[in-house]
Structure 1
Amino acid sequence: MRRRTAGRPRARVRTRALLLAGVAALAAVAAAGCGTDGGERPSVVVTTNILGDITREILGEEAEVTVLMRPNADPHSFGLSAVQAAALEQADLVVHNGLGLEENVLRHVDAAAEAGVATLAVGDAVDPIAYRSDDSAGQPDPHFWTDPDRVRTAGALIADHVVEHVTEADDAAVRANAARYDAQLAELTGWMEESFAEIPSRDRQLVTNHHVFGYLAERFGFEVVGAVIPSGTTLASPSSADLASLTRAMDEAGVRAVFADSSQPERLAQVLSQETDSEIRVIPLFTESLTEPGGGAGTYLEMMRANTTAIGEGLTGR
């Protein structure tokens, strides 16, 4: 009996120690998931990876930025999982391109807005232009990011919406990040102007796999001769009549280079070779999506510099 009585206090001590250790562990986990004010870290969800990169530059460490579109994906066709769709409705702010770009995602963005989440359709607010020819004539062109000056406007808009809706973010830090990135974008515009100045005006003619460079053409003085897919979306496909019309236009303009998304240059070269006896070079560009880091277009700035260099070399034969 004395042995059992003597053991009870020791058992109680061990039990109490285990309980205290468990409470401490739970407290540590809770602290790791909280911000400095004891709440969860603010969340910004971005649909496309191009806008995701821009948003991360502006937010820095001030919020968790979740990008829905994977590297090398097509913004016209990517969709969301149930988990990603739910994340939209839990965000402090949803940033999306708008202008009909994310064709399979818009309904989820609308659902988040109806649930009270702040949303920003960036393309709607950067002075969008319309397609000028072919199947998409008159419809708004969503590819505003090919003009870095419009991206500067987009950056300022994102910063404003973060300050307004992501209340736990440090406003001063967000503004400082936005100013720093804006200076980098201004430098990019100047560098692109200098690079394109080496292309004679008569050679500033673009043919692409689909209509994606309207904003770049407007900003830097190019003419868009045509597109293999006469549409603003990759979901369309060219007919024989479309290809015949394009090759005639290329012959008349003396164009022998087509700029295509990096994911499909070989296929495009085969299609064009069946429509013309002339040799046509197909030059890959990064048009709709960023790549993984190290893939040639891991950031927006890297993508635009790579495309500018490729366009210059393609049109001058360097």
Structure 2
Amino acid sequence: MRRRTIAVFAALSCVLVGLTACGPGGSGRPSVVVTTNILGDITRNIVGDQAEVTVLMEANADPHSFGVSAQQAARLEQADLVVYNGLGLEENVLRHVEAAGESGVATFAAGDAVDPIAYTSGDTAGKPDPHFWTDPDRMAKAVGLLADQVVKNVDGVDETTIRANADRYRTELQELTTWMEKSFARIPAGQRNLVTNHHVFGYLSQRFGFKVIGAVIPSGTTLASPSASDLRSLVTAIEQAGVRAIFADSSQPDRLAQVLKRESKVEVKVVPLFSESLTEPDQGAATYLQMMRANTTAISDGLSVAP
């Protein structure tokens, strides 16, 4: 009620002073603000042309470290709906999301709503894992819940259109899941071992039957750093499991992964993945569907073909 009252007064103010552009983007249209670019892509598929969608995180940014400008913070507090990942992912943005919520803006934490799992190792063991998007089934669940939030909180959108957009995109996600299952079937059971830059593929591993051997940074965030003993322990695990590839995020330096490759006694490839951010259009992962297909191909090739 408070949010709707604020919106009514804002609209009246626009009329009284003769402004031509009110609202977060200056367009006068209903507004949805999204923190990460992965969720931004999902939201745009659902919302379509029904509202203005503003995505705060630029392409190739690290969600753990990106921050917002004063103008972006203001947009958060002027939005009809704020969509964020939650579960501690946007470490430098959460306070702005909370401030928007306190001012009456509707907020939706997608990660909290899709049955999150906990990290099982490293210094974040036992804490909720925010990287739920690596499981397309959970992303499909988020699509339906997000559509509910848009219909409920964004005035002026056509519910039939929003629901149809969500249904169409869920169908694409179901097709993605089927394709991923067939692609991963190429990898022998004994070779389904993952080593990554940091703990980011827990959901994918659970959904598609992989074993996470370890991570170069034994944490759920890129802001942590490994110790010498961490690296030695991981080298031992790599050697014992006969790991064929180390997967490093394409937007992060792979220096530590290269160190592990040199230190281990087995031949290991370092394979780039798109794990936490979408890219520019010409860089291979401009949409969530492109990102998941590119990663699936890279993992399948990296683990099913001999080094």
> Do these two structures clear the TM 0.5 threshold for a shared fold by scoring above it?
yes
Alpha-carbon RMSD across the aligned residues, in angstroms, is 1.7
Aligned-partner SS, 2:78: coil
Matching of residue 78 in structure 1 with residue 66 in structure 2: yes
Whether 2:171 is the aligned partner of 1:183: answer yes
Alignment of structure 1 residues 48-87 onto 2, 5 Å: 48-87=36-75
Is 1:121 equivalent to 2:109 in the alignment?
Answer: yes
Rounded to whole Å, the distance in 2 between the matches of 1:223 and 1:212 is 13
Judged with a 3 Å threshold, the aligned counterparts in structure 2 of structure 1 residues 107 and 265 are, in CA distance, closer, same or farther, namely closer
User: Which SS does the other structure have where 2:263 is aligned?
Assistant: coil
- Aligned pair partner of 2:94 in 87, 106, 120: 106
- 1:132 equivalent to 2:132? Answer no
**Residue identity matched to 2:233:** S
Extract unaligned runs of 5+ from structure 2: 1-16
Structure 1 position 154 matched with structure 2 position 178: no
2:179 pairs with 1:212: no
Structure 1, unmatched stretches of 5+, are: 1-25
Task: Give distance in 1, aligned partners of 2:221 and 2:146.
Answer: 25
Look up the SS of the partner of 1:71 in the other structure: coil
Does residue 280 of structure 2 align to residue 292 of structure 1? yes
Matched to 1:235, the amino acid is L
Instruction: State the Cα distance separating 1:272 from its structure 2 match.
Output: 1.5
- Is this contact kept in 1: 2:66–2:90, CA < 8 A? yes
Q: Secondary structure at the match of 1:119?
A: strand
Are residues 1:315 and 2:300 paired?
no
Secondary structure of 1:89's counterpart equals helix
Whole-angstrom distance in 2 between the partners of 1:271 and 1:316? 23
Partner-residue secondary structure (3-state), 1:72? coil
Distance 1:204 1:279 in 2: 16
Whole-angstrom distance in 2 between the partners of 1:66 and 1:89 = 13
- Aligned partner of 2:134: which letter? T
TM (norm. structure 1) is: 0.87
* Alpha-carbon separation, structure 1, partners of 2:196 and 2:135: 16
C-alpha offsets along residues 240-270 of structure 1, whole Å, 9 cap, x if unaligned?
A: 1000000100111011310010123542343
Aligned-pair identity (%)? 70
Q: Which moved more, 1:262-271 or 1:189-198?
A: 262-271
> Kindly tell me: are residues 107 and 69 of structure 1, through their superposed partners in 2, closer, same or farther at Cα, counting changes over 3 Å?
same
Q: Name the counterpart of 1:6.
A: none
* Alpha carbons 1:265, 1:284 under 8 Å: kept: no
2:5 alignment counterpart: none
Tell me the CA shift for residue 80 of structure 1: 0.5
Answer whether contact 1:93 1:117 (CA < 8 A) is retained: yes
Q: Is the aligned partner of 1:233 residue 2:221?
A: yes
Counterpart CA distance in 2 for 1:269 and 1:226 is 12
Name the structure 2 match of 1:13: none
Q: Distance in 1 between matches of 2:268 and 2:262?
A: 11
Q: 1:196 to 1:265 in 2, by over 3 A?
A: farther
- Any conservation in 2 of the 1:259–1:283 contact (CA below 8 Å)? yes
Kept in 1: contact 2:248–2:257 (CA 8 A): no
Task: Give the one of 143, 146, 171 matched to 2:159.
Answer: 171
Q: Is the 8 A contact 1:268 1:282 kept in 2?
A: no
Give the paired residue count: 287
Q: Which amino acid aligns with 1:94?
A: V
Alpha-carbon distance in 2 for matches of 1:270, 1:196? 25
Q: Which residue of 1 aligns with 2:11?
A: none
Q: In the superposition, relative to structure 1, how do residues 274 and 191 fare at CA in structure 2: closer, same or farther (>3 Å)?
A: closer
Change (3 A) 1:34 1:81: closer
Instruction: Pick which of 175-184 and 263-272 moved more.
Output: 263-272
Cα separation, 1, equivalents of 2:258 and 2:239: 18
Measure the CA separation in 1 of the matches of 2:22 and 2:215: 50
Alpha-carbon distance in 1 for matches of 2:254, 2:102: 44
1:264 to 252, 263, 279: 252
- Tell me the secondary structure at the aligned position of residue 79 of structure 2: coil
Rg larger in 1 or in 2? 1
* 3-state SS, counterpart of residue 83 of structure 2: strand
Distance 2:175 2:22 in 1: 38
